[in-house]
Amino acid sequence: MEPPPLALARLRATFASGVTRPLAWRVAQLKAADQMLRDHRDAFVAAASADLGRPEFETVNVEVAPMHGDIAAILAELPALVAEQTLPTPMTLAPATSNASYEPKGVVLVLSPWNFPFSLSLGAVNAALAAGNCVVLKPSDHTPTCSALLAKLLPQYIDPDALAVVEGDASVARALLDHRFDHVFFTGGAAIGRVVYQAAAAHLTPCTLELGGSNVAYVHDDIDVHLAARRLLHGALTNAGQFCCGLDTALVHRSTLEPLLAALKATLIAWYGDDPKASSSLGRIVNTRHASRIKALLEPSSHGGTFVAGGEVDVAARYVAPTIVLSPRAGSTLLEDETFAPILCIVPVDGVADAIAFSAERPTALCKYVFARSKAVADEYLRNVRAGMACVNDCMFQGGNPSIPFGGLGASGF
């Protein structure tokens, strides 16, 4: 592997040469990235299965296919973004004219996570290349098969003088952060986000931090319980719950509680059968350390709630059953923190005001969700609960629209 100082020197020389600035070069990199995904679709599916036990339909529909759409959206907008803009000039400055243009920053560091090892790596890399930058990508060592695949394929498609893939553990990431970059893009948890932010501050390097938090949905009493059950569980169980936009807790109107619980249990059986562990539709936890963490979270003494479904954990197999916990204790880690597990907590509430009060006491989440036929109820919840993004009557799909800004607020990212 090329040592980071040599890689940085090489990329800085490339950027200084001006080769990355022309629109044609940027377009060529994006089209090459798109072709890489098409040429090696099966390899991406196999790598995600090896590291995450993820079913093919999830890798294709949540990672690979959306990246094609993102690249197409960037290609459509890029000519206008790189064009010089003419700005108004006040009469007091006549006969001067005023113009503005977007300039690339230089060499960008992308520190990507393990839960979506392809889309959350390539999404940032593609954006940086589209802006005319050079990139150092550090994939997560928790998904080593995916990391090795990116290290192998990217230099075959992307200009190798403008890209370096650096593999390794957390010590490698820390060593990279000792160097000066022109921008750092990090996706991960808040604890590591603070470390990245502090390291970047030493060089006054601007950052994009995509973090997370415990995402909550309010479920009103006018919903179709069967439709809502499927959508709530899709939000809680995609990628075995290892999703920053995923759903952790549903605040359910008391009058809807019993029929919704019945619909949730019926949906789990329809999706995974009587033995979810044998289902090919359910992924696995990334490693045994996280599986052990989740097992501790689900100990009844730690949360005080009631299991409606699931609760089983096989640490060695990295298996966590799709789990529904009713009324976990206020202040418990299960209820307060982002679980990153296939767990949905259910908390009965008396109405939208009660749901707003519950959410107001929590840190700002990445996403807020509300299920209601009443537009007035949905608007009231959205207006009074803070989060980076929102979706009404579904979960996570706001992240599938490249026209919608993606990001958190404060502790959930910026």
**Catalytic annotation, residues:** 210, 244
What is d(CA 234, CA 239) in angstroms, rounded to the nearest whole number? Answer: 10
What is d(CA 77, CA 83) in angstroms, rounded to the nearest whole number? Answer: 11
From the CB of residue 360, how many other CB atoms can be counted at a distance below 10 Å? 10
Encode 180-202: b = buried (16+ Cβ within 10 Å), e = exposed.
ebbbbbbbbebebbeebbebbee
Which amino acid, residue 249?
A: T
Residue 105 burial class via C-beta count within 10 angstroms: exposed 0-12, middle 13-18, buried 19 and up: middle
- For 277, the token pair is 């562990």
- Nearest C-alpha neighbor of 278 from the set 324, 321, 325, 311: 321
- Nearest C-alpha neighbor of 411 from the set 388, 390, 392: 388
**Is-cis flag, bond preceding 95, omega within 30?**
yes
- For 77, the token pair is 């907008």
List C-alpha distances in Å: 52 to 7, 159, 280, 324, 329: 30, 29, 12, 22, 30
Which amino acid, residue 85?
A: Q
What is d(CA 179, CA 56) in angstroms, rounded to the nearest whole number? Answer: 38
The HSE-up count of residue 414 (CA atoms within 13 Å, CB side) is 8
- DSSP code for 274: S
- Nearest C-alpha neighbor of 334 from the set 385, 283, 365, 293: 293
Return phi, psi of residue 97, to 5°: -120, 160
- DSSP code for 413: B
Residue 100 burial class via C-beta count within 10 angstroms: exposed 0-12, middle 13-18, buried 19 and up: exposed
